[in-house]
Structure formats: C-alpha cells, structure tokens
Amino acid sequence: MKTIEVRGLRKEYRIPEKKPGPAGTVRHFVQPRYRTKVALDGIGLDVGAGESVGYLGSNGAGKSTTIKILTGLLSATDGHVRVNGFEPHRDRKRHVREIGAVFGHRTALWWDLPVIDSFRTLSSMYRIPPAVYRANLALFTEQLELGDFLTVPVRQLSLGQRMRADLAAALLHNPKLIFLDEPTGGLDVNSKASVRRFIRRLNQQHGTTVFLTSHDMADIEGICDRLIILDHGSKVLDDDIVKVKHRLAADRHLVVTVAGCEDVTEVVRTVYAATGITCTVLDRQRLSCAFDRTETSAAHLVGALMRDHEIVDFELREPTLEHIVQRLFQRSPAVPPAAEVRSR
Ligand SMILES: Nc1ncnc2c1ncn2[C@@H]1O[C@H](COP(=O)(O)OP(=O)(O)OP(=O)(O)O)[C@@H](O)[C@H]1O
C-alpha cells in the first residue's frame, strides 16, 4: 500500500460573482451568480513510505489545496485520494491520528496556553500512551531546543520558537506521515537551518514520510529527495532531485584565475584552440569557461589550460535547484549569474 495514492484529483472552487456595493449584495442575494475556479486539474501522484517529497509551484498553483485535501480539511471535487489507506475527508477522525500537519502561517497550539499545556491537551486528545508522550517530549525538547519556552504562552513566542513548538506538537503522537506547508516562512537563517536539520533527521532516522511545500528552494534541497512541480493545477514534473539536476542542468561554469600573464585574452584563445570552448574574460586574471557536462569535463578543461599557463585558482559552478526551476518556467536567462550558482 502506498502512503499517498492520488488519481485524477480535481478541485473546483465556486466563487461568488457579486457587484460591489449594497445593490450588488441585494442582487446577489436574490439571484446568486458564481464562476468556477479550477484549482487542481486531474493530479496523479504516489508517495511511498519513508519518502521525502518537495511539492513546488508558483503562487496559486494549487499546493495548499492539495495539502488541505490530503489532510482531510477539504473534499475533492473529483478523483481518488487515499492516505495511509484512508479517504482523508470521509475518514477524518481515524486519518488525523496517522498524520501530522504543520501550516507555517498558522499555529495548531492554543494561543493563551503555555506550550507545555498545549502539548498535554494534544496528548489526551490523541490518547498518546504516557511513556510515548514522555519520550517524545524529551526528544523534541532536546532536538528543537524547546526548554527555554515550554512554560511560556504561545502568543509570547517568537516566530522561530512558535514554529519549533508547532513541529513538536505535530509529532507527539508519532505520525508516520507529516505534511509541512511553508514550515520555514519568515524564519531567520539559523532557525531555518535548525528546522531543516530536524525534519531531515526525522525522515532519515525515523523513516517518517515527509510531504513539504515551500517557496524556499533551500528547504527542498535540504530536506527532500524527490521534487514534484505543479503549474496551474497540473503536475509538470515528478522526479528524483539528483536526476532533475542531471537532466535539466548540464551546463557548468569553470572560473579560472591565471598567473603570470598580462592579459587573459591570450589564454581564452588557447582554450578555444584546445577544446573549442568559448570563454568570457572576467578581469585581467580571471576567465569563465561555460561548458556542457555531457560533452566535456572540468578535468579536460583544466588540463588544456595547465599545459601553457600557470593556474592559481579555479572554481566549478553549477546551477542551483532554484535556477533550474526558474528556467523550467522560462523566467530566467540560460546562463546563471555568479550570485545564483553554487560552488562545489
Ligand atoms: N477558498 C477558496 N475559494 C476560491 N478560490 C480559492 C480558494 N482557495 C484557493 N483558491 C484558488 O485556487 C488556486 C490554488 O490556490 P492554492 O492556495 O492551492 O495555491 P498555492 O499553490 O498554495 O499558492 P501559494 O503559493 O500562493 O500559497 C488559486 O487560484 C486560488 O486563488
């Protein structure tokens, strides 16, 4: 049995078409008119136990709608949806015992209660065995560094503290599957890193299946092995992240610093003569060689350069996942600027 099994998932929202002002309100009351917005247009996906999936798409692509359907908050207009064998909306009570969910923009904790009281309340709601609750509380307190604010009311927490408390709350009952909708939105660099590390460890050490949406590509790269991309309610890509990078990003840039020459223009000519690769002069000592990984290698390039010149430094750059995704949506130039490429 697949952990998530979705076939032909369609979601339509009915949006009231009302003219502004009191007259519009009265007219809508007497003669309501609606238009249909298709948020999901026949999605199919399978997620196996222990997978870690990044669910990506631009604003309005349908990510939150999918997560709401998979967690049972919304019903689908059409299609087959099973999560841990349950039909999420219909079997909601049993379904929620098997999953955890974190929605970055809102908390599942009680605003006026100290964090620990929310945890205790959740423990009795989910009927968590006392030994499991104690073990998980100790583990999450240590791993998510909750110790300093367990007795502080949720409304007094910083966003980073609140997010860590929400993560712990979603996991106290040992769910096999966790849905995370923008879990690092608004967090500072250190908090983002610690949340990512925690989720990655959860997936790798405990085998918890992770289904994550984020606009931060570093979340996807840091946490997930598989990438699903959604565009206007349809799935446009579903693959292993390493394979996506291999398939969609063959271009590499080798930035070389040459010593002992007046001007690197001469070096550029040598490289072209030896390899057929056209290089760009960056400054008096540095040049950038763009090449296709499937046609030549960095080693071949460096070898050709070192035959006639003294190389003092070189750096191999490859497109980041962010750049690959941008290119997929054809919103960025073919060659990534230096600031957008990651060094090896
Ligand atoms: N309750 C609703 N009523 C009407 N339309 C809705 C409703 N919720 C979402 N939509 C529409 O459905 C489409 C998909 O929305 P959804 O929130 O799932 O996108 P998303 O990919 O999560 O976007 P974002 O990245 O901005 O959060 C959008 O066009 C949105 O306007």
pLDDT at 296 over 90: no
Q: Whose CA is nearest to atom 18 of ligand 1?
A: 62
Q: Where in the chain is the domain with CATH 3.30.70.100?
A: 250-343
Q: What is the CATH number of domain 250-343?
A: 3.30.70.100
Query: Chain-wide mean pLDDT for the chain?
Result: 87
Q: How far is the CA of 269 from the centre of ligand 1 (A)?
A: 53
Tell how far the Cα of 44 is from the centroid of ligand 1, in angstroms: 18
Mean per-residue pLDDT, 131-159? 94
β pairing state of 177-181 and 209-213:
parallel
Looking at domain 4-245, which CATH architecture does it have? 3-Layer(aba) Sandwich (3.40)
Q: Is 57 in the pocket of ligand 1 (CB under 6 A)?
A: yes
φ and ψ at 23, to 5 degrees?
-65, -40
CATH 3.40.50.300-classified regions of the chain: 4-245
pLDDT computed for residue 267 by the predictor: 81
Instruction: Point out the ligand 1 atom lying closest to the alpha carbon of residue 230.
Output: 21
- Per-residue pLDDT, averaged over 4-25, amounts to 89
Whole-number pLDDT of residue 330: 66
Look at 223 and 295; give whichever has higher pLDDT. Answer: 223
pLDDT reading at 7 higher than 80: yes
pLDDT of residue 276: 82
Q: For the segment 212-232, what is each residue's pLDDT rounded down to a tens digit?
A: 998 888 899 899 999 999 989
Mean of the pLDDT values across residues 167-182?
Answer: 95
Amino acid 197 reads: R
pLDDT tens digit sequence for 271-280: 888 788 888 8
Distance 103 CA to ligand 1 centre (A): 14
- pLDDT for residue 295 is more than 60: yes
Q: Quick one: which of 320, 65, 316, 67 has its CA closest to 216?
A: 320
Q: Phi-psi bin for 84: left (phi > 0), alpha (psi -120 to 50), beta?
A: left
Question: What's the ipTM?
Answer: 0.97
**Minimum CA distance residue for ligand 1 atom 25:** 59
- % of the chain with per-residue pLDDT over 90: 52
Q: Check pocket membership of 15 for ligand 1, CB cut-off 6 A.
A: yes
CA of 65 to the centre of ligand 1 (A): 6
